[in-house]
Amino acid sequence: MPDHLPPDTLALLASFPHDALHLETGVQSVNPDIQKAIRRYQRIEPSLENLHWLRTHTGCQLHADLIFGLPGESIDSFAEGFNRLVALDVQELQLGLLKNLPGTPLGALSSPDTVYDTNPPYELLQNEHYSFDALQRMKRFAKYFDLLHNHGNFPESLALLRQLPPSPFHVFEALTEQIWEQEGKTYGIPLVKMAEHLHIFLCACLPDRKSTVSAVIEKDFRRFKGRRDRLPFLTGNSA
């Protein structure tokens, strides 16, 4: 619980060497009404302030989580949480679909039109804010975000993406749909191909900065030793 970190604990965490600690921090939602509804008692602003402090004053690897499909939470509310956590630049942001284990109180908190899968892992299938198709789009969103961000493959390229209007959530949603239209799958996509999708999207959004986009993607792709793959899509993008 990131709001339960007193100053002496923060100071202790700051004393560790860079990358020595990996902190799993639970957020789930930044909407206080939703947290109250699901009986999760967490102070949102202190949580985000502590995450910001940890990111800027320590070498800790930060993992935060958001859940889509929580009872009562709209897509806009989830998007706000995504945007706020992305702005903190946590190294890992896990986006998970709500699951309802049989016998837990969550079922009683859900609206009458909520449907859960009766088979493990008991995922949400639809509710008042998400149709089945909308949840499938969000699952693709989560998978592609994991591939591009959480694996640390394209930090500078995604920094460019985060600056685009109207918001990181809506921009990444558009990128997600572009990748899905071309690939039709969320697995087995080579990293070179993901880099190409990112390049096409950023060049379309930043047509006067194509050379910058190409340089940033090349730098990101080569940041890990041993990557010798060619990036043929960068040829001829020096405009």
d(CA 121, CA 112): 21
| DSSP helix/strand/coil, 138 | helix
pLDDT tens-digit profile of 68-86?
A: 999 999 999 999 999 999 9
Amino acid at 66: L
Q: In the 8-state DSSP scheme, what is residue 226?
A: T
- Rounded to 5°, angle at Cα 186 from 180 and 191: 95
In this prediction the pTM is 0.92
Give residue 236's pLDDT: 56
Q: Where are the alpha helices (DSSP H) in 38-154?
A: 44-57, 75-88, 106-109, 132-145
200 CB-contact burial (10 Å; exposed 0-12 / middle 13-18 / buried 19+)? middle
Amino acid at 28: Q
Distances (CA, A) of 183 to 65, 177, 179, 191: 27, 10, 6, 13
pLDDT tens-digit profile of 160-208?
A: 999 999 999 999 999 999 999 999 999 999 999 999 999 999 999 999 9
